[in-house]
Chain A
Amino acid sequence: MSVPAVKAAALVDRKPPVHMRIDELRVNYRVAAGYLKAVDGVSLEVRPGETIGLVGESGCGKSTVAKAILRLLPEDARVEGRILLDGEDVLRMSNKELRRIRWTKLAFITQSAMNSLDPVYRIGDQIVESILAHENVGKEQAWRRAEELFTLVGIKPARLKDYPHQFSGGMRQRAVIAMALSLNAGLLLADEPTTALDSIMQDQVLARIRRLQEELSRSMILVTHDMAVVAETCQTLAVMYAGKIIETGPVADVLTNPFHPYTMGLRNAFPRIDDERRQLISIPGNLPSLLDPPRGCRFASRCPFRTERCTREEPALLKVGERQFSACHYPDQAGEFRARAEERRTWDRVDPMLRAASAAGGGP
């Protein structure tokens, strides 16, 4: 299977992996009640060839970051900051410049990619169209490239002549991955690429993405709620909560030695197949309102280790390891927190705290 991969890569102009830097990105959505601060000061760097997993739960702002990179935010969204692709700011590009970078520097796979294929055209024609629109090649050559890509994602090339409804969900998802790879863009942005698939299909699609990544070595951002997917696919992990990155670093470091209580909680909430004894623990409470975010740490209301300082003072991202950063006031106590976070009674304490706070009229 690796033979066609090399061939496919050779058929496409090899574009160098992209360097991306996000500086202080802020995105506010206008809603009836005011401005919703969906992303609030996010900075992130993707070095050429690096794969980053952007992880968080619904409402944390991860998809908004992805949309900002693609310039697909609604028009009334207020966007501040910079998103530099090889030094050029995407947020300030004209439509013409955007067309130039989309698919060549920046390719993306959406969450419901299976629905992003046009039902009335053959899948092969759709892939060929995207190649012809961006590269100076003949139709025959483009079709050949599409055949190679299908082999690469594990679909028989003959099925390029099928219509989308003839494919299963997993096959359509893989077809869209083939399409996203068709121009060998320098940065691949995948937003929940496997969420709609069952676990066997997810495993196959991820294995493909991972192998392509190894063979073609381009930069990648994987946006997902699933830490386990990131653990197996990415080098770097960035955890988002309520519009901010609260912890980031090499995947293995963050997962074995998390410094932020939210990361600890998220890790414990994951069902594991390989550890019999471990309890599944959920994090009590809900995301704070992003219309009027709390003053201090945004996780404070749900954090079993919070102190008075946490509700008053916002923690900055502090360096806690070689390349690991965490936004908690108490990095020195992380070891103790980790041990206690594995016990259910630690998190059970949060609920009464939440109730007391809401009875007192303050709180979440």
Chain B
Amino acid sequence: MAPMRKKTHSPAANTGPRPAGSPTDFVIAATGLKKHFTIGGGIIASLLGRPARVVKAVDGVDIAIRRGEVFGLVGESGSGKSTLGMTLVRVHRPTSGTIRFRGEEVTNAKGKALKAYRRHAQVIFQDPYGSLNPRLTVAQLVEEPLKIHGLRDQGERAMRVIEALERVLMPPADYLHRFPHELSGGQRQRIAIARAIVLEPQFIVADEPVSMLDVSVQAGILELLKRLSDELGLAVLYVSHDIATVRYICNRVAVMHYGRFVEHGDVRKVTARPAHPYTKRLMAAVPSVDPTTKRKRVTLSEEEVPGEEALQAERQWVEIEADHFVASTP
């Protein structure tokens, strides 16, 4: 391991991926964010004497993403990464903690304030086969968000649609009047991205945007996201279970396990020198196409990777090298 530049601080004060800079640099920033779901506890369950159970999907996360930054969020199914993304764009209302968008609090925004926030915070979903209405043409699909957000001028709407399609490299003349079933998976995902950027948002959550696509087109979509982030100054949260793709487009990464971050920092440092046992396990699970490098199958047993309880005790961040933090027990 790299020489320990041991610098600890308690997460309550300041943790999380928060590089130096003034708070206004951050497009989106959350502190102490929790989202708990109650399972059961309905009338029938309580009549039968079954207690309600609380699932702590997100359990105390600090995160901050800057303009033009692609932030990777990795973890296995059930780690809470999608819930975190959906909470940041306020699909869910957080149980506790605060969310700030360009310095303004949106934690409990409702009504008009919430709608205004959502105009700036968009989502790209995993399944481009399920997320596009099959009855609408490409032109209508990309125009829809503009209508919802009350852009009345038809001419301007058309201009914005064309511009968005050009940005995602779908020549408008060829695609405006096509329907989703005429498009390949990669093309559909480009349309989904055009829908997300047409409102000129500042924050985008991309939840497993390539995991349903063919390998030969994945690279194109990832690069498009990265380029849009650069060109438009977008803050992008890229959610994925595949730590291998994260390295290609992200500047920073956080590894999530049982609703908490266990490691975060500069993506090159975290992937080159993973320090938390869970991160090591995630890295070790990625198969390699190169038959000459026999990958080290890390046989970390369940016991070696801290469980939920151990993680709750891990309340301290250790900076093991510049901009590379690992959670550890105090």
Q: A280 touching B222 by the CB < 8 A rule?
A: yes
Of A16-24, A180-188, A248-256, the segment with at least 4 beta carbons within 8 Å of chain B is A248-256
CA–CA, A198 and B287, complex, Å: 12
What 1/0 mask marks residues of chain A from 258 to 282 whose CB sits below 8 Å from any chain B CB?
A: 0000000111011111111000111
Least CB distance from B269 to A in Å reads 12
Interface centre among B77, B214, B287, B288 (most CB of A within 10 A): B287
CA distance A270 to B295 in the complex (A): 16
Contact with A along B218-259 (1 / 0, CB 8 A): 111011000000000000000001111101100000000000
Contacting pair B241 A199 (CB below 8 A): yes
A227–B289 contact, CB under 8 A? yes
Q: How distant is B169 from chain A, measured CB to nearest CB, in Å? A: 9
Nearest CB to that of B284 among chain A residues?
A203
From A26-34, A69-77, A112-120, A228-236, give the one contacting chain B.
A228-236
Cross-interface CB contact of B289 among A57, A206, A255, cutoff 8 Å: A255
Chain B proximity of A48: nearest CB distance (Å)? 23
**CA separation between A287 and B214, bound complex, in Å?**
11
A231-B290, A252-B292, A272-B289 given; A225·B282 CB < 8 A: no
The digit string for A214-253, where 1 denotes a CB below 8 A from any CB of B, is 0000000000011111011000000000000000000110
Beta-carbon contact of B220 and A203 below 8 Å: no
B220 touching A282, Cβ below 8 Å = yes
Q: B291 touches which one: A207, A255, A266 (CB < 8 A)?
A: A255
Complex Cα distance A306/B104, Å? 56
Contact count A vs B, C-beta below 8 Å = 112
Which residues of the other chain, B, contact A265 by a CB distance below 8 angstroms? 216
Interface string of A164-207 (1 = CB under 8 A from B): 00001100000000000000000000000000011111110011
A94: CB under 8 A from chain B? no
Nearest chain-B residue to A280 (Cβ)?
Answer: B219
CB contact between B285 and one of A168, A199, A267, A269 (< 8 Å): that residue: A199
Q: For the complex, what is the distance from the CA of A267 to the CA of B219, rounded to whole Å?
A: 12
Evaluate contact between A200 and B244: CB separation under 8 angstroms.
no
Q: Which of chain A's residues have a CB closer than 8 A to the CB of B313?
A: none
- The reply on A58 being an interface residue by CB < 8 A is yes
- Assembled-state Cα–Cα distance A31/B293 (Å): 45
- Chain B neighbourhood of A275, CB < 8 A: 290
A283 CB within 8 Å of chain B = yes
State the CA gap A266–B183 with chains docked (Å).
21
Instruction: Determine which of B76, B185, B271 lies in contact with A273 in the assembled complex, contact meaning CB atoms within 8 Å.
Output: B271
Pick from A198, A251, A276: contact of B241, CB below 8 A: A198
Assembly CA distance A255 to B293 (angstroms): 12
| Alpha-carbon separation in the docked complex, A202 to B211 (Å) | 14
Which of B78, B217, B222, B281 counts the most chain A CB atoms within 10 A? B217
Chain A, range 267-303, C-beta contacts under 8 Å to B: 267, 269-276, 280-284, 286-287
Residues of A within 8 A of B214 (CB): 57-58, 225
Instruction: Please name all residues of chain B whose beta carbon is closer than 8 Å to the beta carbon of A287 when the two chains form the complex.
Output: 184
**B289 to A270, Cβ gap below 8 A?**
yes
Q: Chain A: how many interface residues by the 8 Å CB criterion?
A: 42
State whether A273 touches B291 (Cβ < 8 A): no
Residues of B within 8 Å of A207, CB to CB, are 297
Say if the beta carbon of B170 comes within 8 Å of chain A. Answer: no
- Please name all residues of chain B whose beta carbon is closer than 8 Å to the beta carbon of A206 when the two chains form the complex: 287
Cα-based distance from A158 to B107 in the complex (angstroms): 45
Closest-CB distance, B198 to chain A (whole angstroms): 24
Contacting pair A271 B245 (CB below 8 A):
yes
Question: Cα distance A198–B291 when bound, in Å?
Answer: 22
Residue B283 is within 8 A (CB to CB) of chain A in the complex: yes
Q: Residue of A at shortest CB range from B216?
A: A283
Q: Is the CB of B220 within 8 A of A231?
A: no
Q: Which residues of A contact B223 (CB under 8 A)?
A: 280, 282
For residue B310, CB closer than 8 A to chain A, the reply is no
Contact call A269/B293, Cβ cutoff below 8 A: no
Q: Which residues of B contact A169 (CB under 8 A)?
A: 77
Q: Does A228 lie within 8 Å of B242, measured CB to CB?
A: no
Q: Are B244 and A252 in contact (CB under 8 A)?
A: no
A200 and B76 contact, CB distance less than 8 A: yes
- Does B215 sit within 8 A of A, measured CB to CB? yes
Q: Which residue of B lies closest to A270 (CB)?
A: B289
Residues of B within 8 A of A269 (CB): 215-216, 218-219
Q: Knowing A198-B76, A271-B247, A272-B244 touch, does A228 contact B216 (C-beta < 8 A)? A: no
Of all A-B residue pairs in the complex, the 7 with the closest CB atoms, nearest first, are: A228-B287, A282-B219, A203-B285, A280-B219, A282-B220, A57-B214, A271-B244
Q: List 9 A-B contacts (CB under 8 A).
A: A58-B214, A198-B77, A199-B242, A199-B282, A201-B77, A203-B284, A255-B289, A273-B288, A283-B217
Since A271-B245, A273-B283 are in contact, a sample of 11 more A-B pairs with Cβ atoms closer than 8 Å, ordered by chain A residue number, is A200-B285, A203-B286, A231-B287, A231-B288, A231-B290, A256-B290, A256-B291, A271-B218, A282-B217, A282-B220, A283-B217
B residues bordering A, Cβ < 8 Å?
76-78, 184-185, 214-220, 222-223, 241-245, 247-248, 268, 271-272, 281-293, 295, 297
